[in-house]
């Protein structure tokens, strides 16, 4: 078990190297720092001096991979690749366009992102499982059919509609909660409740339908028939047997998402003005702040790989039949 986990952990390193190479290729080879400088400076102020100054300020004035002018080992290390790409492995992301350290920024913004993402994750899972169980309990009836239709309809509505519509109705028409922003301490709950509810509702349709198929698959198994045959009530069958067994694919399916909760939600955070990592990313994309986008790509992949790792562990924990080798 331990050796397996260590091996999986080591397996992550080549993947991260791959991610690193892709981002390096995208940000420095496909588009040279000169292009970035031109884009940032705008068409009017582009002079060779301005570009050189912009590059020097950000350390982009070095050669990409091989510094022929340097001495000794510095030939290979005094380059953009080492400075900007390899340094990400020690979580040194440099500074953003407005001169702030990206890592400090990420640390302070993680809190608000988690404050939304964690409740959404838990409540969303709970709501979808409940709804799906309800549909399975009434399977084959018109109620089930109507529920599935509702799920498909909810899936077909754009997430933008949930956000815009919800914000308009609850905040603007009913004046129940503030439109946007984030308060300190317990006051924050007032700001967070609407985005959380909207995210849960927005994700309910797809998740509930998916869980319903998993539950239905479980219901056709032999052990369920046995459970019914020995006289268990339908509710007992559903809760004691079906739910437990169906949670294996559901849990292992969502575990991979847990680390990514740190990244927050792009749309929700930017609509509700929550200073989390999602809105940070959106702002960076809008301002074409390449350093921040690069950092977020790297962190995102690290979290995803951690998620895969956790998935492997959770498989063994919830299903003792699986032996890792």
36: contact with another protein by CB under 8 A: yes
| Minimum CB distance to another protein smaller for 128 or for 299 | 299
Around Cβ 33, how many Cβ atoms within 10 Å?
Answer: 21
Given 49, 68, 140, 156, the residue binding another protein (CB under 8 A): 156
Please say whether the beta carbons of 174 and 225 come within 8 A.
no
Q: Which stretch binds another protein (CB under 8 A): 104-112, 191-199, 237-245, 285-293?
A: 285-293
Residue the block writes with tokens 């022929």: 68
Report which DSSP code applies to 289. -
37: contact with another protein by CB under 8 A: no
| Minimum CB distance to another protein smaller for 31 or for 314 | 31
Name the minimum Å distance from CB 68 to another protein: 27
Buried b vs exposed e over 114-147: b needs ≥16 C-beta within 10 Å?
A: bbbbebbbebbbebbbebbbebbbeeeeeebeeb
DSSP string, 236-300: HIIIIIIHHHHHHHHHHHHHTTTGGGGG--HHHHHHTT--SHHHHHHHHHHTT-HHHHHHHHHHH
226: contact with another protein by CB under 8 A: no
Integer Cα distance of 198 and 169 in angstroms = 12
| Minimum CB distance to another protein smaller for 103 or for 148 | 148
300: contact with another protein by CB under 8 A: yes
204: contact with another protein by CB under 8 A: no
Given 41, 155, 188, 193, the residue binding another protein (CB under 8 A): 155
The token duo for 21 is 């190479």
114: contact with another protein by CB under 8 A: no
157: contact with another protein by CB under 8 A: yes
Name the minimum Å distance from CB 18 to another protein: 4
Given 24, 27, 93, 215, the residue binding another protein (CB under 8 A): 27
322: contact with another protein by CB under 8 A: no
Residue the block writes with tokens 């977020």: 296
Task: Identify the bridge partners of residue 95 per DSSP, sorted by sequence position.
Answer: 101
**Nearest Cα to 280, choosing from 77, 97, 43?**
97
The token duo for 13 is 């390193």
| Minimum CB distance to another protein smaller for 14 or for 72 | 14
311: contact with another protein by CB under 8 A: no
Please say whether the beta carbons of 29 and 64 come within 8 A.
yes
- Rounded to the nearest angstrom, the gap between the alpha carbon of residue 203 and the centroid of all alpha carbons in its chain is 14
Binding-residue pattern over the window 161 to 180 for another protein, x denoting contact by CB under 8 A = x--x---x---x--------
290: contact with another protein by CB under 8 A: yes
Q: What are residue 174's phi and psi, to 5 degrees?
A: -90, -15
Integer Cα distance of 150 and 161 in angstroms = 16
| Minimum CB distance to another protein smaller for 140 or for 286 | 286
Name the minimum Å distance from CB 259 to another protein: 11
The token duo for 244 is 């437990």
Q: What are residue 101's phi and psi, to 5 degrees?
A: -70, 130
255: contact with another protein by CB under 8 A: no
Integer Cα distance of 39 and 32 in angstroms = 11
**Number of residues located near another protein, criterion CB under 8 A:** 46
55: contact with another protein by CB under 8 A: no
Binding interface with another protein (CB under 8 A) = 14-15, 18-19, 22-23, 26-27, 30-31, 35-36, 38-39, 152-153, 155-161, 164, 168, 172, 220, 260, 263, 266-267, 281-282, 285-286, 288, 290, 293-294, 296-297, 300-301, 304-305, 308
């Amino acid at each position: 078990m331990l050796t397996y986990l260590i091996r999986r952990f080591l397996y992550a390193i080549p993947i991260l190297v791959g991610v690193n190479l892709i981002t390096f290729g995208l940000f420095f080879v496909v588009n040279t720092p000169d292009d970035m400088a031109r884009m940032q400076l705008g068409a009017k102020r582009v002079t060779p001096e301005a570009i050189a100054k912009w590059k020097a300020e950000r350390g982009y004035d070095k050669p990409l991979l091989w510094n022929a002018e340097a001495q000794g080992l510095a030939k290979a290390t005094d380059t953009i690749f080492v400075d900007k790409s390899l340094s990400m492995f020690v979580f040194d992301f440099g500074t953003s366009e407005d001169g702030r350290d990206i890592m400090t920024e990420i640390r302070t913004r993680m809190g608000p992102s988690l404050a939304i993402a964690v409740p959404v994750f838990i409540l969303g899972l709970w709501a979808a499982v409940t709804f799906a169980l309800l549909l399975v309990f009434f399977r084959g009836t018109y109620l089930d059919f109507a529920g599935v239709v509702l799920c498909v309809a909810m899936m077909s509505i754009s997430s933008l509609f949930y956000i815009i519509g919800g914000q308009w109705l609850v905040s603007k028409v009913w004046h129940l909660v503030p439109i946007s922003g984030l308060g300190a301490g317990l006051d924050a709950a007032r700001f967070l409740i609407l985005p959380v509810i909207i995210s849960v509702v927005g994700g309910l349709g797809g998740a509930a339908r998916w869980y319903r198929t998993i539950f239905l698959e479980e219901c056709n198994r032999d052990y369920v028939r046995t459970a019914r045959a020995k006289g268990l009530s339908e509710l007992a069958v559903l809760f004691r047997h079906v739910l437990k067994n169906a949670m294996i694919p559901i849990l292992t399916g969502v575990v991979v998402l847990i680390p990514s909760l740190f990244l927050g939600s792009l749309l929700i955070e930017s609509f509700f003005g929550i200073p989390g990592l999602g809105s940070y990313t959106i702002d960076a994309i809008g301002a074409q702040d390449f350093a921040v986008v690069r950092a977020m790509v790297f962190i995102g992949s690290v979290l995803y790989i951690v998620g895969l790792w956790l998935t492997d562990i959770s498989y063994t924990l919830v299903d003792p039949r699986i032996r890792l080798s």
